[in-house]
Structures are given as structure tokens and as C-alpha cells.
Amino acid sequence: MTPALRCVGLRQKFGDTVAVDGLDLEVERGEVFGLLGPNGAGKTTTIRMITTLLPAPPGAIQVMGRDVARQRTAVRRLIGYVPQQLSADGTLTGRENVALFARLYDVPRAARAAQVAAVLDAMDLTEVADRPSKTYSGGMVRRLELAQALVSAPQLLILDEPTVGLDPVARDGVWDRIAAIRAATGMTVLVTTHAMQEADEHCERVALMHRGRIRAQGSPGELKDALGPDATLDDVFRHHTGNALTGDNENGGMRDVRAARRTARRVG
């Protein structure tokens, strides 16, 4: 069986800056895979190429065996995507927000209402579904966005920094939902984060990314064991890159930083 995601020699340059530099990556079907690294590591650029937002050369990225460059529309139907920013429309109710994406993914009219209700229920939002989403807490908006991404029954769920700006309780809530989704559907989940502890707890495999390249990959346990007893994922990252994860923001794009701050502001 083909992997859920395969990237081969992926590259992306912006002017003289190399954002992604020969990235090779394979995500197996049904796993929760974490792409880890600080701001500017190239995670978001990689995600933007996988999700067809940035062009990729033919053969460089395959999603469920489909070439992202040649079968864009087919790939888009297989993907559910939650961007880093809180992007639900505050004017619309939770139900309307999800129904919009059901229509955009061509969920058949006969199944639409039931499918919208099911994902809202799965995200514990049924009681507030008919309230404008601007009245939701940050954690609720994140769950609403998960519902939007899930309503089309995607095979690969891509989450870009899903817990940025959330308090610990809301963060746990989001991770619990991600685990429940995976258990209920067998869906593959690709998540980017720079929160090593969260990745350690919730991802089955991770890839450590630094300056556009994968420096190490494996299960968190394997990576830590390889370094020695009591090692943390932070230690693993430092070992492979010579940098502390939280200290190297020099390559972080202004837009990434701004997006993270905006999200943090919106969730309070």
C-alpha cells in the first residue's frame, strides 16, 4: 500500500532564501505524524506545498499515491486542512461555518445536514452550533475548524500549529479530539508544532526539521533512547541541530510570527 504522504527531494526557494532544502519524508497511513521545528524551519512552506498552495515539481509529493502537481483536484479532495491562524468566520454560526465547507467539498445535499451535525457533535459543539462563532473561546474555535476540516471525510488531516496560543486545558482538548478522530476513522494526521512536549505525548512518529531539512526522524521514544536515558525531545533536537528549539527564530518569517501573535491575541 502506498504511504499517506511521500515527499522526495522537495525544494522551495524564495529569492535567495532556501526554505525547504531536499526534504524526504514518508508518512504511513493511519499514523499521527509530527513535523517539528522552530519558526523558519520550513514546516509551513512544506505544508503549503503538500496542500497545493505552493507549486511542487511533478513526482516530488504524493498524497495517497496521487501526484500533487498532476492531480491537484484529486489531492485537494483527500486533504483536510487547518491553518495556523484562527480562521473560522466569526459572523457565521458554527453550523454555517461547517456547512460552508461541506458545500465547498461537494458533500451530497442529502447527506450534508447529517454530516455537519455529526462532526459538530464529535467536536462537542452541538449545543453552541447555532451561536455566532465570534462568541466561542479559542479552544472552541479550534474544534470548529477541526469540524470544518473533517466534514468532507478527508484521508489526510493536516494541522499547522493547532495549539498555538491556546491555554493548557484547550490544548489538551484539541489533542484529545485529534486522538479520538484517528481512533474513530483511521485517518492519517500530519501536524506541525514547535511544542516538543506535546509532540512527545501525542505523535507516533516525528521528524525534526531545521533550516529546510529533516535532521532526524522516528518515534519520540526511539529518538530519545538513541541519545541516552532521561533525554527529552528538546535534547534530541539540540543534539541534531546544535540549537535550542525555542531560541532560533532568526529564520522565522515575519508573516509566521505575525500569524502566531494574531492567533494568540484572538484566543486571549
Partner 1 sequence: MSALPVAPPAASAETEPGPLALARTVASRVATTCLVELQKLRHDRTELVTRAVQPALWLLVFGQVFTRIRAIPTGSTPYLDFLAPGILAQSALFIAIFYGIQIIWERDAGVLAKLLVTPTPRIALVGAKAFAAGVRAVAQAVVVLVLALILGVHLETNPFKIILLVVALLLGSAFFCCLSITIAGLVLSRDRLMGIGQAITMPLFFASNALYPVELMPGWLQVINHINPLSYEVEALRGLLVGTSARLPLDFGVLFASAAVMIAIASALLPRLARG
- DSSP for residue 260: H
- Residues numbered 165-184 forming contacts with partner 1, rule: CB under 8 A: 180-181, 184
Q: What is the nearest approach in angstroms of partner 1 to the Cβ of residue 167?
A: 20
Q: How far apart are CA 240 and CA 258, in angstroms?
A: 28
Characterise 129 by phi-psi region: left (phi > 0), alpha (psi -120 to 50), beta (else).
alpha
Scanning 3-11, 15-23, 75-83, 207-215 for contacts with partner 1 by CB under 8 A, the matching segment is 75-83
Q: What is the nearest approach in angstroms of partner 1 to the Cβ of residue 240?
A: 30
Q: Which CB sits closer to partner 1, 132 or 252?
A: 132
Q: Which CB sits closer to partner 1, 18 or 118?
A: 118
Check residue 78 for interaction with partner 1 (CB under 8 A). Answer: yes
Buried b / exposed e over 8-36, threshold 16 CB at 10 Å, is eebebeeeeebbbeebebbbeeebbbbbb
Q: State the pairing for strand pair 156-160/188-193.
A: parallel
Q: What is the nearest approach in angstroms of partner 1 to the Cβ of residue 25?
A: 19
Site for partner 1 (CB under 8 A): which residue of 5, 32, 41, 79?
79
- Residues numbered 88-147 forming contacts with partner 1, rule: CB under 8 A: 89, 91-93, 96, 100-101, 103-108, 111, 115, 117-119, 121-122, 132
Check residue 39 for interaction with partner 1 (CB under 8 A). Answer: no
Site for partner 1 (CB under 8 A): which residue of 20, 60, 68, 86?
86
Decide if 165 contacts 138 (C-beta within 8 A): yes
Instruction: For residue 156, report the phi and psi dihedrals to the nearest 5 degrees.
Output: -130, 115
Q: What is the nearest approach in angstroms of partner 1 to the Cβ of residue 73?
A: 5
3-state helix, strand, coil split of the chain in percent (to 5) is: 45, 20, 35
List C-alpha distances in Å: 241 to 6, 13, 108, 134, 209: 24, 21, 48, 41, 9
H helical segments located in 28-108: 43-50, 72-78, 94-104
Scanning 84-92, 193-201, 203-211, 217-225 for contacts with partner 1 by CB under 8 A, the matching segment is 84-92
Site for partner 1 (CB under 8 A): which residue of 19, 20, 48, 162?
48
Instruction: For residue 52, report the phi and psi dihedrals to the nearest 5 degrees.
Output: 75, 10
Q: Which CB sits closer to partner 1, 91 or 246?
A: 91
**Footprint on this chain of partner 1 (rule: CB under 8 A):** 48, 51-54, 66, 71-74, 76-79, 81-87, 89, 91-93, 96, 100-101, 103-108, 111, 115, 117-119, 121-122, 132, 148, 150-155, 180-181, 184-187, 258-259, 262
